[in-house]
Structures are given as structure tokens and as C-alpha cells.
Structure 1
Amino acid sequence: MKEILIIDPTDNVAVALRDHAGGLVQIEGQSLNIEPVRQKHKVLLQSLKKGEKVMMYGVPVATANQDLAQGAVITTENITHFADPISLDNKKKYEWQPLDVSRWQDRTFMGYHRADGKVGTANYWLFIPLVFCENRNLKVIEETLLTTLGYKKPNDYMQFAQSLLGGVSQSQSVKEDRAFENIDGVKFLYHDGGCGGTRADSETLLRLLAGYLNHPNVAGATVLSLGCQHAQVDWFKEVQQQLYPQGDKPVIYLEQQVIQSEEKLIKTAISETIEQLKIANQNERKPAPLTKLVVGLECGGSDGFSGISANPAVGYASDLLVSLGGSTMLSEFPELNGVEQDIVDRCVSREVAEKFVRIQRAYEAQARASGSGFDMNPSPGNIKDGLITDAIKSAGAAKKGGRAPVSGVLDYTEPLTQAGLNLLCTPGNDVESTTGLAGSGAQITLFTTGLGTPTGNPLSSVIKISTNTELQERMPDIIDLDAGPITRGEKSIAEVGEEILEKIITVASGESTKAMDLEQNDFILWKRGVSL
């Protein structure tokens, strides 16, 4: 196994593939004397003068704060984040050859066909509160429906807790079979918005909720309103008409201040929903082409191996799907900092490039105005595992987007309409980002992690991919696929990318993921404030 890895021929740093006590290592047929270095951290391949650039992934990612010797380990003390400026005028002509996808050309997945031509990879009924005041009613309805309809899973921890008290656990009354065979679940979107904040926050919430209601994995929805909040029912309907004019899913609207009592509200919600579930249950899975797939691309709890194993493997899977005529969405705009020019060059038109630059610059300016910036994006966990500048983190994170041209750029809550690789403006925060991906139409989300991130989404099936095998062995309950063999030279990026595509197809046809098994239904609105 290699001890050290150069990612790009133009790089002047290399990644340690294991802990090294220092001394001579062999790299590219030459000997290099290095300082003691921890796994996933970087050493200099050549000496640098103060102010000279550190190159990684073929792009500048930092500048030296002092003169640095060959073999030195780069740290937060001896280098500073650097990212090349963006230039629309220097946009280069970009050419890309689609991958050979002949073996998947006639493949299909088993999905739920919708009236608007989209195909769901699941069939959910959705409960939407327009304001946080309805969360308590939502909880009562959730406990009632999930238990009655057979979706509530037994809680193994109840017996454990009873044993600690010296008691004998009571058997849970849980329906063994689902009442509706073709309804994959009933989902509930708890949030803290809809009133009390700015009107802009309420509008963003309504746009996001409209995306969830019109998601291909949703059969219909029950909407609960208090009545006096900012996020009014009529406003919600206007937003839906604006963003999804072809939307025609059944929606039950209930307003508490109009109905005589809370009890009547809850009973009405339950009874009317069950009647609609009987209709939605008539929809069965049928074959659908892979062109109907929309897959989100996300990373969280990244480590020093993210950019050399799981992320490029996801990027290869994205290129395969795009080559087949499907769609992918790359999120987390703070984690494109430093690779913006490459993104600009890959945009299919100047108009698309201008939209990306406009959104990216506005986001960065907002962060600066609040005393922050993209350079403050890496978390303590990222830094500990070798991602010591945002540009290093970003250059590796951007690998999830593969090399396909950028067909479209979406602002937060904007629905996907263009096939191919799209960029979606979200923060780097894991749950805010995955929430946004589902809101723009991702049926499935590929989520790479090097440290372990236990999160999921109510609608989008999250597939977790570990960057290193140690994580998969340590947290097998959250990891679906392991990209660790790439760093050991046992598998290629292409091989793991193909495995990921096969996993996408099986999940699209109804196979559950670890996040789904753990009922991780995380939903957090990005209020468009500064969140990196």
C-alpha cells in the first residue's frame, strides 16, 4: 500500500495515507524526507517561500505564512486559505465526453408514476404545518396514524429502560402489517417557522414547503394552519401556483381557528387523510427509465480522504447518471469556494455562469458583512482530519459533481427543470443542505462522510457512503456503502462509482437505506441568514 499520495500532477503537497513517524518515503519513484504526519494530513513536496501558493487538486488552496521546507506538514498556523478570483471574461470552452453507459441503457427502476410526468421512488403522504403552533397537533396525529396504519417500529430501548428500573417491559401494541401496501409511509415536517420571524423567512418556508408538497415521492398532503400566522393558506397556494403551475395533487387544508375545537381538528385531519390514502394506495410501482431520476449530491463530516475516495466515486456515479439522461444536484455553495472558475468554465452558457457567479458573490458578501466568510467554513472535525482551509475542503467536496457540464444553477427552493448536472445554492450545513435538495426535487441523495453523520430526510432516500473503511466498521448502522477500498488501491474510483449507481437503482425501486431504517427524518429551513 502507498504511504503517501499525490492527487494531481501539478500539486506541491501530498496526502498521507497512514500515520507516519517521519523520515524517508517513496513517492513517484523518488525519496522524500518528511516530518511526522498523521493520516489524511498533507506534506510539502517542495520548499515554499512566504506568500507562495499551496497547490492541491490542481488548484491553489492556500498561501504560505512563512518559509516552509520540503517535507513539512501544512497546518492552520503555517498556511492561510486562498482561492483564485472568478472571471466570466476568462471562461474557457469546455468539452466533455459522456461515459460509456451501454450496460445501463435499457435499465429501469420500479417507481410511482405521477400525473405531471415525474416518477417517485417512494409513495408518501405528507403532513405540513404552516406554523410551529401546529407542531403539538402534528405530534398527536403522527402517534395515532403511524401506530394504527402499521408504520411505527417497535422501540427496543423501551425494554432496556424497563430493565434498568427492575420492571418487566410491556409489549407494544404495534400493527404487524401496513394497512396500505402501496403507501411507503406518512411523513411529518416539524419546523419552527411560519410566524414571529421576518416576512422573507415565511416566504422562504412556503417556497420550501411547496417543493415538498410537489415532490415526486409525495402522493398528497394534509396542511394544518392556525389562522393568524404570517404563512397564510392563500399565500401558500399562490406560491405553489408560481413554482408548480402543473401541480394537481390532492391537498387537505385545515385551519384551527375556524374549526370548533382542537379535538375536531385532529379527528378531521385523521379521517380525511385516511380517505385520501385509500385512493393513493391504488398507485403501484411500475417500470420507469433512469432518465426520471434526480439525485442530490451532499457531504458531511468530511475528512482528509473525502476528496480522494467517496467524493470522486460519487462524481463518477453522477457522470454515469448524466450520461444516461438523468439529473443530479450539487449543493453547498460555500464548499465551491476556490473551484469557482472551473465551475464557470463548465457552465453550458454564459447565462448559466452569470447566475452562478451572482449567487455565489452575494452569498460571500453576506457572510463578510456578518463578520464571517467562506474561509471560516471548515469545522473543528474537518481541521482535525486534514481539511485545514476551505479551499482544500472545497476542492475535494466539488469532486462529487464529477466532470459533466453544468446544465443549470438553482437558487435555494428553486425547482429543478433541466436534466444533467445542476448546482443548488445551499449552505454547507448538512441538514439545511439535504432539506434544500429534497425541496428542489431530489428523490435520492448521495451523502459522503468521513467522520460519521447520522442524518436523513423525510422524502429523499439518503444513501451514506464512507470515505474510509474504519468508519464503516465503527458505525455500520449508518453506512450503506464503503469507498475505503479506493485509498488502499483495491478498487478504482470507477468501480465504486458503478456500485453507487447500482445502489441508486435498487433504492429507487424500494430498497430502504440505513437512514430510512433509523427513521432519520431531519428537516431544517435555511432562513437565508449566514449559515456556512
Structure 2
Amino acid sequence: MSQNELKKIVVKLDPKDNVLVALTDLEKGKIVVFENESFEMQDVIKAKHKFYMSDFHLGDEIFMYGVLVGKVQTNVAKGSLMTTDNLKHAAEPFDYRSFDYTWQTPDISKYKNSTFNGFKRKDGRVGTANYWLFVPTVFCENRNLDVIKEALHNELGYSVSDKYTTYTHQLLEAYKNGVDVENIGTDLMPTANSNRIFKNVDGIKFLNHQGGCGGTRQDSATLSSLLASYANHPNVAGITVLSLGCQHLQVADFKNDVLKQNPLFDKPLLIFEQQNAQSEEQLIAEAIKKTFSGLIEINKLERTPQPLSELCIGVKCGASDGFSGVSANPAVGYTADLVVALGGKVLLAEFPELCGVEQNLIDRCETEAAAQKFINLMRSYDDLAHKVGSGFHMNPSPGNIKDGLITDAIKSAGAAKKGGTAPVVDVLDYTELATKPGLSLVCTPGNDVEATTGKAAAGATLILFTTGLGTPTGNPVCPVIKVATNSILANKMSDIIDIDCGPVISGEKTIEEMGEAILDYCIKAASGEIIPKAVQLNQDDFIPWKRGVSL
């Protein structure tokens, strides 16, 4: 997309497309001239939405991003608004074919000598943070984790609730003194974690979950592999495990999975089993004491300069809008290409949101084995959804549709842009670890938290998360960087947004310039020089996927 195109009020995303995207609100009757052709708006076309470039009839195919995204359901006139009434999801079939893919690598001269300050682990991997992790093997231990979390966070300076505690105290005092609490304002004084005791420990994280017992044994086995991936994560320096004792997910299973993934595992691993403890009080006190000693040790670790090839960046979109595939996703895609060209790893997941672009990704696979694995995972996932009366076509949410993502293929074609254009070096099933430099596809749902949970398990040490409507999603062990598709969102929700891609829409920046700015931010975040908003807020979302139908 050229700089001149971005200055226009509409944009065509691919030469093959037969719809245009409005970059600003267009009134009914307005004449828009694009590529020497005039279009009269038959409806109000709000920014982010699309209108048809010709008269179309029932069954006609509509293309965006150069791929089939839907079929017309009724006769529509040139200049008419695309809606769920006049367009339904459609996507091209896909299969493996021999294809000679050529990648045009981006210019990386600006970054060839760049480094970030990370934590080099003994197994050779490099973390962007230094966390202590609490892992329950079963949901029965969630309450004990909550008690420990409150004690450690409040006393060691990791709590973010101080301002709310102060505000609640203010309301209580007003009530005691007979003052109407409705007269108390909601402006809260910000608090800073300046009282953090362990300066080199970026956080103490807790993986509360609802699994480990009940359900199926397969669920527990998948959970064990997931928790082991988090214990092995390069951002994690030490682990405390709480177990009840009688659950499906036994401590021995967890330890076996840890060593299966990493035979050289040597991090502090503290294990406490409640059914072998004298009392709950003794269990919690002992866990706190031993963890405190562990925190003293990992606080001795320091950041050192590391090459950018040690970055592993997950790319994600959520609460998407009609600008996601126009600004933020392509910009993040350019960042992804830079990281791959520099020898790093990039993880593209959310398989329900790759519907319609499968052939492009298959053609980019470096090996037939990777392509076939992707095909099998996609087809089995979609088949499972259809068996329960659903399907990938039901992925877009009401918010997505309201802001211009009319079909799943439209959403998916835009979502795939955040993976860039590099060849696909590997395809990973859920909880499999990325080991090859380059772009890997990771099987996860589209659900924001299930997807980020899976990316971290695959080894992402930073996640770039684009959003057009705004979402607070974070992750316990992998810093999540929020990238807004538009400046209105970036300004409205500045407390959760880190990067504004609105300048792409306004024409102030090209996709390439924005992509470099995002990488610059990533380098600072990986070095601990910038703390992403989700990390500042302790937005530690964690939802294991049970391999059921989740779109």
C-alpha cells in the first residue's frame, strides 16, 4: 500500500479486489473518485466498512486482500454498503500443491548490530523478563494460590490494587461520617511499584485454572504439557507447584513432561502437596518461605546484551475492527518479517482466523510435511466445529461485524496479515515448542486468552496484540503489547494501549515505517526499558484449551 493511497478516503487492498474500504465516514450520495472511476454512495458508509465497486447479483463472488471472502446474497448496486444481509461467508478450497514461493526480505541494515538486554538461561534460551511462577496441578489449589498471591504481592511491591484499596477506604470513611458516598469522586491517585523489594524479579505469577481433575484424562495430559511449557519458558526463573494429591494430574506426570520438553531443566522447582501437609496453614507458610528464598536467588540474575535473533514474538489480534487488516495487522506483519530476517522466531496462531487464506499459507510452507500438518489440523478443527452445528464461518463476534468484519474470510484475510510474508518453517500443534528460526503456525483457538496462552506455551517471549475495539488481555509469563488500529481507540483507552497505528490510516506513516516503530518498541520492552500496559496492570490471563470447539 503506497503513501499516496493512504492519503485517500478509500483504499483497495489488492488489485484483485472488487470492494473498497472507507477510511472515513462517507455520506449517502457522496461521489468518490478512485483510479479514475466515480462511485456514488448508495448508503451511508461508515469508516472501516466496505462498498461494492460494481453492480452484483445473487451468487457473485467478492474478493478482499486478493482472496474470496463471500458470495452476494441479493442484487446490490455499485456504491452499496456491504452487510451481513447481502453477503455471506465463502472461501476457496485448499490443498497441497508444489509451489515455488519467493520471499522478498525486508531491509534489516538498521538493526544488524542491534541487541536487547535479556536474561540468558542455562539451556541457551533468552527471556525478556524474570518471573517466579506458581503452578497448581488442580483447581482445588486455586484458593491457596490466591492467599499466597495476596501476601506476596502486597508485601513485596507487586500489587496494583493500592489505589483501589485507598479509594475503598475513602468510601468507608465517608460512610462512617454520614457523608453520601455518591458525592465521592472517582478520580484515583496513581500508585507506582517503587517499593518493589527484588529489583531484578519482574513479577510473581500465578496460573490459576479449572483443570487437573474431572473431565477426561486427555484433558489432564494436555494441561500437564501446557503447565510444563510454562515452567520451561525462558521468562520463568523458578517455580512453586501446589498439589492436592489425589487428582488426575499427578506431580510425577508434570515433572516428566518438564523433563521431556527440556532434559537440561535446572530451575528451582518447589513442590508442596496438601494431603501430605500438617495443615493448610503449614502448607502456605512453607510455600511462602521457600519461595522467598528462591526469589532472593533469582534476584541475583541480571540482563545482558543479546542478539535480536533470540526474540520469539507471537502475533495476535482481538476485538478486531475493519481497520485491523488495513493498519495494525500489516504493520505488525512487517515487524514479523524484520524479526524473521534477523534470525528470530515469529508465531502466528488462531487457526479459525486463517479460514480463506489456507492456500497462501500452504504455498509458503518450506516442506510438504509442514503443509500437510497444517492441512490436517485445519480440517480436523473445522470438522469438529461442524459436528456440533458450528463452523469457522461463525467466528466473527457482534462487535467485529458492527465495525466492518462482515464474514470470517474477511476477518481471517486481514488477521493473517500480522504474520507477514515470510516462508512457513514449521507447523506446531497446541503446546509444541517453536525450535526453528522463522515463521511458525501454532494451532490455537481464536479466543483471545486461549490463543495467547498457547503462544506463550510455544515459546513466545513477547506478544504483539492488535485491536480495533480495545481489550485488556495479557499473559502471566509473556509481556503482551497492545497495538491499536486507529487513533480514536488509542486515545480513548490509553491506559491499555501501547502503540497507535492510526498514523497509517491518516497517511502520516507507511506500513514499513510503522513496522519499524513497533520493532523499536519491542526491543525496549524486551530489555525492560518499557513496561507494556498489560504488564503494568498485572493482566495475567490464562485459559487452557481443552481441545474442544472454541472459535
- TM-score with structure 1 length normalisation? 0.97
| 3-state SS of paired residue (1:487) | helix
> For residues 15-30 of structure 1, what are the structure 2 equivalents within 5 Å?
15-23=21-29, 24-30=31-37
- Following the alignment from structure 1 to structure 2, what is the Cα–Cα distance between the partners of residues 76 and 402? 28
- Following the alignment from structure 1 to structure 2, what is the Cα–Cα distance between the partners of residues 312 and 253? 44
Residue 136 of structure 1 is matched in structure 2 by 143
- Cα shift readout 1:59-103 (whole Å, capped 9, x = no counterpart): 010011122222121111111100111111x34210113211011
The answer to whether 1:14 aligns with 2:20 is yes
What letter is aligned with 2:259?
Q
Shift in CA distance, 8/135, structure 1 to aligned 2, threshold 3 Å: same
- Following the alignment from structure 1 to structure 2, what is the Cα–Cα distance between the partners of residues 199 and 153? 37
Percent identity of paired positions between Structure 1 and Structure 2: 55
- Following the alignment from structure 2 to structure 1, what is the Cα–Cα distance between the partners of residues 98 and 40? 40
Task: Tell whether the 8 Å contact from 2:163 to 2:191 is kept in structure 1 after alignment.
Answer: no
Residue 69 of structure 1 is matched in structure 2 by 77
Residue 315 of structure 2 is matched in structure 1 by 297
Shift in CA distance, 168/65, structure 1 to aligned 2, threshold 3 Å: closer
Residue 86 of structure 2 is matched in structure 1 by 78
Bigger Cα displacement from structure 2, 370-379 vs 241-250:
241-250
The answer to whether 1:450 aligns with 2:458 is no
- Following the alignment from structure 1 to structure 2, what is the Cα–Cα distance between the partners of residues 257 and 226? 6
Residue 509 of structure 2 is matched in structure 1 by 491
| 3-state SS of paired residue (2:106) | coil
Residue 264 of structure 1 is matched in structure 2 by 282
Bigger Cα displacement from structure 2, 335-344 vs 186-195:
186-195
| 3-state SS of paired residue (1:446) | strand
Shift of 1:3: 2.1
- Following the alignment from structure 2 to structure 1, what is the Cα–Cα distance between the partners of residues 287 and 98? 54
What letter is aligned with 2:66?
G
Residue 112 of structure 2 is matched in structure 1 by 105
What letter is aligned with 1:271?
K
Task: Tell whether the 8 Å contact from 1:149 to 1:175 is kept in structure 2 after alignment.
Answer: no
Residue 519 of structure 1 is matched in structure 2 by 538
Bigger Cα displacement from structure 2, 173-182 vs 35-44:
173-182
- Cα shift readout 1:183-241 (whole Å, capped 9, x = no counterpart): 11111111111112111111111111011000000001000000000010011112222
What letter is aligned with 1:302?
S
Shift of 1:442: 0.6
> For residues 267-282 of structure 1, what are the structure 2 equivalents within 5 Å?
267-282=285-300
Number of equivalences: 530
What letter is aligned with 1:238?
N
Shift in CA distance, 271/368, structure 1 to aligned 2, threshold 3 Å: same
Bigger Cα displacement from structure 2, 506-515 vs 96-105:
96-105
What letter is aligned with 2:453?
T
What letter is aligned with 1:480?
D
- TM-score with structure 2 length normalisation? 0.94
Bigger Cα displacement from structure 2, 145-154 vs 206-215:
145-154
What letter is aligned with 1:145?
L
Residue 501 of structure 1 is matched in structure 2 by 519
Task: Tell whether the 8 Å contact from 2:162 to 2:191 is kept in structure 1 after alignment.
Answer: no
Task: Tell whether the 8 Å contact from 1:212 to 1:438 is kept in structure 2 after alignment.
Answer: yes
Shift in CA distance, 216/177, structure 1 to aligned 2, threshold 3 Å: same
- Cα shift readout 1:96-123 (whole Å, capped 9, x = no counterpart): 1321101101111011110000011111
Residue 435 of structure 2 is matched in structure 1 by 417
Residue 157 of structure 1 is matched in structure 2 by 164
Task: Tell whether the 8 Å contact from 2:312 to 2:460 is kept in structure 1 after alignment.
Answer: yes
- Following the alignment from structure 1 to structure 2, what is the Cα–Cα distance between the partners of residues 209 and 462? 19
- Following the alignment from structure 2 to structure 1, what is the Cα–Cα distance between the partners of residues 265 and 458? 14
Shift of 1:49: 2.4
- Following the alignment from structure 1 to structure 2, what is the Cα–Cα distance between the partners of residues 384 and 147? 41
| 3-state SS of paired residue (2:377) | helix
Task: Tell whether the 8 Å contact from 2:160 to 2:538 is kept in structure 1 after alignment.
Answer: no
Shift of 1:168: 9.1
Task: Tell whether the 8 Å contact from 1:315 to 1:497 is kept in structure 2 after alignment.
Answer: yes
Shift in CA distance, 6/167, structure 1 to aligned 2, threshold 3 Å: same
Task: Tell whether the 8 Å contact from 1:147 to 1:174 is kept in structure 2 after alignment.
Answer: no
Task: Tell whether the 8 Å contact from 1:148 to 1:175 is kept in structure 2 after alignment.
Answer: no
**Gaps (5+ residues) in structure 2?**
1-6, 177-188
The answer to whether 1:338 aligns with 2:344 is no
Bigger Cα displacement from structure 2, 372-381 vs 234-243:
234-243
Shift of 1:157: 2.3
Bigger Cα displacement from structure 2, 15-24 vs 503-512:
15-24
Shift of 1:2: 2.0
| 3-state SS of paired residue (1:366) | helix
| 3-state SS of paired residue (1:415) | coil
2:61 to 41, 53, 59: 53
> For residues 83-482 of structure 1, what are the structure 2 equivalents within 5 Å?
83-88=91-96, 90-153=97-160, 155-167=162-174, 176-482=194-500
- Cα shift readout 1:122-141 (whole Å, capped 9, x = no counterpart): 11110000001001111111
Shift in CA distance, 172/268, structure 1 to aligned 2, threshold 3 Å: farther
**Gaps (5+ residues) in structure 1?**
none
Residue 529 of structure 1 is matched in structure 2 by 548
Shift in CA distance, 110/46, structure 1 to aligned 2, threshold 3 Å: same
Task: Tell whether the 8 Å contact from 1:435 to 1:525 is kept in structure 2 after alignment.
Answer: yes
